[in-house]
């Protein structure tokens, strides 16, 4: 058969097979939908065991249906032809026929590992690895890696990493194209590494760090399902734009139970904004802020300067500094958080003041008066003078109130942070109503740990809960009376109490996934945490994350060379050893799949010239263009940008174009571009309708674009105190073309 016909026949065969996979997917969806509807329609009838089984099946069908609905895009991406003649299709989930004949293997299953690990030198029983390129449900192309030379016919040659390079040369769409079909052996080794301990994945731009992190999260959820389905996985990213960029990747791999958050979202009820002042971020990120927050809490446990007179129903009592000091010491000795220890503090002083009141009343009424004085304790507790005095000495606090006052009241800050210089304290001070920033979140978390829960309702919430519970039990008792004869008939009357039934009903009404519960619980202990762009984290942010995973099971992904935050790490040792000692392992990604070699080399030269040694992964792609540098006359930056935009848009060829500039330039740049290109101008990762993205280097972290225009590279280099991070990040975002516009100095090394 002629080669062209053979290739056509192969393509038609794959199209037919993939169409069959999608038909089977639809059959399974319909089957689970029918089963779910049937279970839901059965109602709460039968024995308690039957009801429990019904809800368990409903949960199972709901979860499976959610998974089946999430994998529609690029359901299958590969095929293995094995030495024994078998063919094994690899996809996002496993699929079988109704009689359990395997149609497709889940990419995380052990038998799929050879798809990523096999090479021509170590075939692992694989003769050919086929990449299926899908658009929607349709197979648009095939690319083969022939690993067994006996399969080759005359004129054919081994095909290397063509599928990967084709994927990387494709246009950006604003949603990350997960590279599950093109993960290479070094990436696969890291993805499948054991879960315990801290695994650091260091890699330069374009090495697939984010893809590795996401696929590792999916792999761990698959291979450690029993452990992680209850504890959950936390995935931390650098920005909201980044989280939007990756939000479809894990669901497309068949996983929906992951908590994804920025560091600013890890304090329930707080949605923090970026910290705009790098110097402030650096101070708040220091580990010494642990002592500052502890001092702030201790300083709210005050001793009065002198005895205080208290009026209780017309009787004057005296609260002495010595009494307060003794109660404070005993409360602190409990080791409980501030708000819980306050209960002990208050009980001690209320008892002493009640005794004092009793003695005063007995003295005034004469000896031998033994009237019942049980009401005295309530009189003391409800006295306004007593409440004010006890609150002044030991006020119940929320983290927001403690940190808010610490950062807005000079006297509070000076008392809690004597080791900071006056200039540093002045940097930290801000308005009382200022928005919370990402650098504040670790301080709030530290305060929450030291303060504990606060019952602001003074027991009213508990009373309401008790009343609701009593009502539910009463309803349950009536229900059991109604079905008493039925329970007797099946021999289980008396086995189910009203309390059991009320608790069961409450549990069913509030059923949440582990991920949903974890997202709203600051004290949740995750089974594993994945951190992307981890080089930017401050010591206080690391402390927060370590608290979230007591077992210290982490996948840490980043590139020290891209550190731009003054609070970030200069080495992985500096970042991790304060919390984990030597108990972490370093893996390095060595191949740059994204960035054309000309652009990658210019970025490395720039970093080296600035005095920073960076890892330089091997770039496997040569681009069409060298980096372009335009020297712009003073005052003509925006005008020149508008002049070159048509050329850059044409070079992007329908893909995404990013304009990256310092934050203070962004409003003017967005306004000028929007006046010409209207709705095409957006932010973050862009999209199909917004193919021009205007953003700063911090927001650009982790993102990629077909073409990038960088404004004032010299400013990006110098604004971070000599660190190359912002400029290095900006220069390494493009997959095709880079242009730099400079009114000022062009950093050394860029032009070779």
Q: What are 347-399's pLDDT values in tens digits? A: 999 999 999 998 888 887 765 555 556 788 888 999 999 999 999 999 999 99
Residue 215's nearest CA partner among 198, 201, 229, 230 is 201
- State the Cα–Cα distance between residues 47 and 62, nearest whole angstrom: 23
More confidently predicted of 225 and 399: 399
Residue 140's nearest CA partner among 26, 14, 3 is 14
Q: What is the pTM of this model?
A: 0.75
Cβ of 149: how many Cβ atoms within 10 Å? 11
User: Percent of the chain, pLDDT > 70?
Assistant: 80
Residue 648's nearest CA partner among 660, 664, 636 is 660
Q: Is the dihedral of CA 617, 618, 622, 626 positive or negative?
A: positive
Cβ of 173: how many Cβ atoms within 10 Å? 14
> Token pair of 160, please?
């290397």
Which uninterrupted H or E stretch holds 519?
A: helix 514-519
- State the Cα–Cα distance between residues 430 and 409, nearest whole angstrom: 8
> Token pair of 395, please?
């006020």
Cβ of 156: how many Cβ atoms within 10 Å? 12
- State the Cα–Cα distance between residues 328 and 394, nearest whole angstrom: 9
User: Tokens 């109660």 map to which residue?
Assistant: 327
More confidently predicted of 676 and 622: 676
- State the Cα–Cα distance between residues 316 and 77, nearest whole angstrom: 83
pLDDT value at residue 353 = 94
- State the Cα–Cα distance between residues 215 and 297, nearest whole angstrom: 42
> Token pair of 465, please?
């809960």
Cβ of 601: how many Cβ atoms within 10 Å? 17
pLDDT value at residue 168 = 56
Rounded-to-5 percentages of helix, strand, coil across the chain: 50, 15, 35
- State the Cα–Cα distance between residues 246 and 174, nearest whole angstrom: 9
User: Tokens 């030991």 map to which residue?
Assistant: 394
- State the Cα–Cα distance between residues 632 and 622, nearest whole angstrom: 28
- 175-179, 189-193, 314-318, range with greatest mean pLDDT: 314-318
Residue 309's nearest CA partner among 359, 211, 242, 383 is 383
For the residues 715-739, what does the mean pLDDT come to?
A: 83
Cβ of 723: how many Cβ atoms within 10 Å? 24
- Lowest average pLDDT, out of 151-165, 448-462, 666-680, goes to 151-165
Q: For the range 39-45, what are the long-range contacts, defined as Cβ-Cβ under 8 Å and sequence gap of 24 or more?
A: none
- The mean pLDDT of the chain is 83
Asked whether the predicted pLDDT for residue 406 surpasses 80, the reply is yes
- State the Cα–Cα distance between residues 218 and 92, nearest whole angstrom: 10
pLDDT value at residue 6 = 67
pLDDT band at residue 414 using 50, 70 and 90 as cut-offs? very high
For the residues 197-214, what does the mean pLDDT come to?
A: 86
Cα–Cα separations (whole angstroms), residue 527 to 187, 234, 442, 524, 659: 22, 8, 20, 10, 39
- 156-160, 274-278, 341-345, 719-723, range with greatest mean pLDDT: 341-345
């Amino acid at each position: 058969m002629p080669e062209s016909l053979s290739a056509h026949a192969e393509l038609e065969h794959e199209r037919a097979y993939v169409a069959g996979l999608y038909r089977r997917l639809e059959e399974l969806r319909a089957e689970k939908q029918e089963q779910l509807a049937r279970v839901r329609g059965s109602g709460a009838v039968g024995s308690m065991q039957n009801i429990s089984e019904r809800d368990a099946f409903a949960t199972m069908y709901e979860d499976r249906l959610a998974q089946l609905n999430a994998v529609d895009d690029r359901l299958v991406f590969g095929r293995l032809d094995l030495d024994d003649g078998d063919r094994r299709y690899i996809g996002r989930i496993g699929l079988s026929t109704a009689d359990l004949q395997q149609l497709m293997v889940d990419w995380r299953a052990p038998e799929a590992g050879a798809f990523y690990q096999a090479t021509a030198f170590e075939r692992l029983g694989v003769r050919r690895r086929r990449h299926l390129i899908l658009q929607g449900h349709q197979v648009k192309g095939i690319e083969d890696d022939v690993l067994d030379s006996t399969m080759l016919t005359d004129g054919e040659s081994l095909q290397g990493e063509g599928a990967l390079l084709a994927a990387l040369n494709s246009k950006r769409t604003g949603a990350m194209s997960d590279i599950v079909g093109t993960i290479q052996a070094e990436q696969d080794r890291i993805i499948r590494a054991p879960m315990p301990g801290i695994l650091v994945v260091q890699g330069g731009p374009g090495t697939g760090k984010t893809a590795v992190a996401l696929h590792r999260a999916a792999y761990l959820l698959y291979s450690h399902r029993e452990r992680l389905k209850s504890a959950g996985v936390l995935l931390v990213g650098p920005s909201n734009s980044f989280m939007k960029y990756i939000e479809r990747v894990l669901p497309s791999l068949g996983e929906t139970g992951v908590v994804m958050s920025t560091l600013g979202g890890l304090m329930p009820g707080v949605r923090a904004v970026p910290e705009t002042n790098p110097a402030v971020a650096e101070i708040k990120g220091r580990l010494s802020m642990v002592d500052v927050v502890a001092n702030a809490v201790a300083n709210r446990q005050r001793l009065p300067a002198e005895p205080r007179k208290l009026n209780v129903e017309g009787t004057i009592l005296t609260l002495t500094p010595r009494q307060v000091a003794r109660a404070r010491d005993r409360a602190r000795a409990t080791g409980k958080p501030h708000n819980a220890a306050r209960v002990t503090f208050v009980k001690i002083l209320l008892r002493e003041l009640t005794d004092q009141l009793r003695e005063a009343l007995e003295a005034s009424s004469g000896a031998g008066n033994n009237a019942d004085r049980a009401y005295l304790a309530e009189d003391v507790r409800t006295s306004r003078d007593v409440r004010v005095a006890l609150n002044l000495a030991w006020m119940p606090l929320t983290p927001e109130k403690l940190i808010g006052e610490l950062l807005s009241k000079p006297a509070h800050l000076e008392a809690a942070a004597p080791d900071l210089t006056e200039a540093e304290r002045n940097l930290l001070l801000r308005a009382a109503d200022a928005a919370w920033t990402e650098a504040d979140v670790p301080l709030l978390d530290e305060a929450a740990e030291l303060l504990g829960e606060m019952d602001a309702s003074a027991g009213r919430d508990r009373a309401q809960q008790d009343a609701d519970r009593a009502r539910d039990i009463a309803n349950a008792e009536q229900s059991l009376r109604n079905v008493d004869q039925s329970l007797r008939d099946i021999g289980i009357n008396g086995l189910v109490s009203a309390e059991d039934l009320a608790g069961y009903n409450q549990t069913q009404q509030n059923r949440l996934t582990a991920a949903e519960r974890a997202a709203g619980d600051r004290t949740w202990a995750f089974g594993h945490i994945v951190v992307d762009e981890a080089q930017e984290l401050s010591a206080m942010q690391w402390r927060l994350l370590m608290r979230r995973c007591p077992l210290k099971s982490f996948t840490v992904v980043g590139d020290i060379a891209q550190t731009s935050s003054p609070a970030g790490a200069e080495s992985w040792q500096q970042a991790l050893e304060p919390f984990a000692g030597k108990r972490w392992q370093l893996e390095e990604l060595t191949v740059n799949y994204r960035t054309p070699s000309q652009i990658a080399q210019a970025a490395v030269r720039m970093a080296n010239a600035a005095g920073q040694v960076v890892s330089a992964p091997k770039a496997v792609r040569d681009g069409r263009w060298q980096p372009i540098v335009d020297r712009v006359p003073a005052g003509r930056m925006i005008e020149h940008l508008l002049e070159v935009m048509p050329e850059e848009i044409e070079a992007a060829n329908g893909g995404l174009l990013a304009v990256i500039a310092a934050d203070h330039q962004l409003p003017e740049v967005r306004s000028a571009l929007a006046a010409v290109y209207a709705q095409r101008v957006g932010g973050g990762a862009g999209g199909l309708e917004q193919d021009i993205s205007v953003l700063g280097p911090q927001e650009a972290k982790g993102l990629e674009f077909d073409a990038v225009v960088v404004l004032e590279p010299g400013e990006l280099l110098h604004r971070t105190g000599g660190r190359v991070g912002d400029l290095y990040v900006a220069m390494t975002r493009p997959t095709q073309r880079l242009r730099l516009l400079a009114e000022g100095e062009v950093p050394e090394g860029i032009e070779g």
